[in-house]
Amino acid sequence: MTTMTAMPPTQDLTREQLFSKAACMTLSIHKVGFSRKTKVAIKSKADQTLVKRTKWIIDCPEYRAITRLDDKTKRDCEKFKLPATIGRGMMLIAAKDLMEVYRILDEYQMQRHTLIDKFCSVYTDRKLEAKDRLKDLYIETEYPTLAEVRDKFRVDIQFLTFDLPGFLQHVDRTLAEREREKMAELFKGYGEEIRGGLREMLQGLVDHLLRALSADNDGRPKTLRAAALTNLTEFLMTFDRRNVTDDSELDQVVTQLRNTLAGITPKGLKKDLQYQEIIRTSLQSVRTQLTNLVIPQATRRILTSQDDF
């Protein structure tokens, strides 16, 4: 049985230190909604008050294309998110990743604008189709005007800083000092959460690859999926940019993994069973190190941002 040891204490992060290495970004994606509650009798003895009934007043490929792009962009941005709980729709991004995130969001907004134009150009026709499909459930007043539809589609992106103590300094020094102490504790917590989150992420990726390299109950090797290796190598490639807490312990583990997996491809690893055993032994050693580094982290939430997805 492996003994769990406490994570080495994190050096306290000040606001200036954290925001020299990371930025707090809010991303709110808005679009007009086309689902409505409706009263439709269901042939069942169930209590009808417990059954929710929804209809789609518009259902077309042009609208779904916008939704797919929105979902893809949110997933793309999530890849750059540091593991710290800030608030709904908010994320910490490593400063070294900001230009890439900017590029993704700029390209996304251009693509989205094109898709919105395409949807608006067929909106009237799609309403007529919906009228034919919905029959007696069609209600004209449920449909926004074309101008209202276009106005609902927008993307709000902001980068935030925390300077409440500085503002309060001009109001009341005692209150400002109290808030400054709270802020110091807050950013210490962020540092612990980011450090612990990155350690847990790497532990999960190592465990995943280890399971993929293990045998089934009958002794036959499992099918090695490329993602088990590529997800781990992607983490190793981006770790230096995301290591905003200067986690030297995890950096040592990452360096060891980089040396172990250097030049390995999913295809090559699948074919060489002997090399799989070498990799498996090395990963088991790394897993033991990570187990000693990881302890459960309490989540923190200090701000909220209302999203209209």
Mean pLDDT by 10 residues, the chain (309 residues): 40 60 84 84 72 83 96 93 80 87 93 97 94 90 93 85 47 52 61 88 92 72 80 92 90 92 83 81 90 65 39
Provide the pLDDT for residue 30.
92
Please report whether residue 145 resides in a domain: yes
pLDDT for position 278: 85
Same domain assignment for residues 113 and 21 = yes
CB 25, CB 93: distance < 8 Å: yes
Residue 119 has what pLDDT? 96
Last residue of a domain, one of 161, 184, 218: 161
Do 150 and 217 fall within a single domain?
Answer: no
Model pLDDT, residue 273? 75
Q: How far is Cα 86 from Cα 78, in angstroms, rounded to an integer?
A: 13
Q: What is the dihedral of CA 290, 197, 225, 257, to 10 degrees?
A: -40
Of 161, 176, 211, the position where a domain reaches its end is 161
Task: Count how many domains the chain has.
Answer: 2
* pLDDT of 200: 93
How many helices (H) does the chain have, and how many strands (E)? Answer: 10, 5
Q: Which two tokens stand for residue 254?
A: 């990452």
Is 204 in the same domain as 149? Answer: no
Residues 202 and 246 grouped into a single domain: yes
Rounded to 5 degrees, φ, ψ at 37 are -75, 145
Q: Are residues 127 and 31 in the same domain?
A: yes
Boundaries of domain holding 109: 15-36+50-161
